[in-house]
Amino acid sequence: MIKNVLHHEYHHMTHRTSGPSAIRPAVPRAEFTQRILGCFRDKVKTEGLLVLKCSGKLATGSIIPAAADLKLRRVVKNLVIVPGAKEQINAAIKEFNPNYVPKFVGGRRVTPSWMMDLVERVYQKILTRIMAGLRDYNPEPLMYGVFYGQPVSEKNRTGNITQVEPITVISALFNGQIAVLAPLGLSETGDGRPDSLGSLCLSSPYAGAGLSFNADDAAAWIAKTLGATQLLLATDKGGIEAHGKMQKEITVSALARLINKSIVRDGMVVKARACMTAVAAGVPVRVINGSNPDSVTRALREKCGTAVVR
Q: Are the C-beta atoms of 257 and 75 separated by less than 8 Å? A: no
Asked whether residue 174 is domain-assigned, the answer is: yes
What residues form DSSP beta bridges with 286?
A: 232, 307
pLDDT averaged over the chain?
A: 85
Choose the most confident range, by mean pLDDT, from 95-99, 104-108, 260-264.
95-99
The CA distance from 227 to 80, in Å, is: 12
Please give the pLDDT value at position 198. Answer: 41
Q: Give the whole-number percent of the chain exceeding pLDDT 90.
A: 62
Q: What range defines the domain where residue 134 resides?
A: 43-309
The CA distance from 234 to 291, in Å, is: 8
Please give the pLDDT value at position 249. Answer: 95
Reported as a single tens digit per residue, the pLDDT across 284-296 is 999 999 988 888 9
For residue 52, the domain's CATH number is: 3.40.1160.10
Asked whether residue 36 is domain-assigned, the answer is: no
Asked whether residue 103 is domain-assigned, the answer is: yes
Asked whether residue 171 is domain-assigned, the answer is: yes
Please give the pLDDT value at position 307. Answer: 96
Going by the DSSP 8-state scheme, the letter that residue 60 receives in this structure is: T
Q: Number of structural domains, the chain?
A: 1
Distances in Å between the Cα of 59 and the Cα atoms of 119, 146, 147, 177 are 15, 20, 20, 18
Q: Please enumerate, as own/partner, the contacts of 95-104 that have beta carbons within 8 Å and a separation of 24 or more.
A: 104/266, 104/267
Q: Beta strands of 56-183 (E only): which ranges?
A: 79-83, 104-105, 108-109, 139-142, 147-153, 156-164, 178-181
Asked whether residue 13 is domain-assigned, the answer is: no
Q: Which residues contact 204 (CB under 8 A, 6 or more apart)?
A: 120, 124, 143, 144, 184, 210
pLDDT class for 193, splitting at 50, 70, 90? Answer: very low
Q: Would you say residue 192 has pLDDT above 60?
A: no
Asked whether residue 266 is domain-assigned, the answer is: yes
pLDDT class for 188, splitting at 50, 70, 90? Answer: confident
Asked whether residue 30 is domain-assigned, the answer is: no
More confident position, 179 or 32: 179
Angle of helix 167-174 versus helix 29-47 axis, rounded to 10 = 40
Q: Would you say residue 29 has pLDDT above 80?
A: no
Please give the pLDDT value at position 189. Answer: 54
Please give the pLDDT value at position 223. Answer: 98
Q: Which of 27-36, 79-88, 241-250 has the lowest mean pLDDT?
A: 27-36
Q: Are the C-beta atoms of 93 and 116 separated by less than 8 Å? A: no
Asked whether residue 20 is domain-assigned, the answer is: no
Q: Would you say residue 6 has pLDDT above 60?
A: no
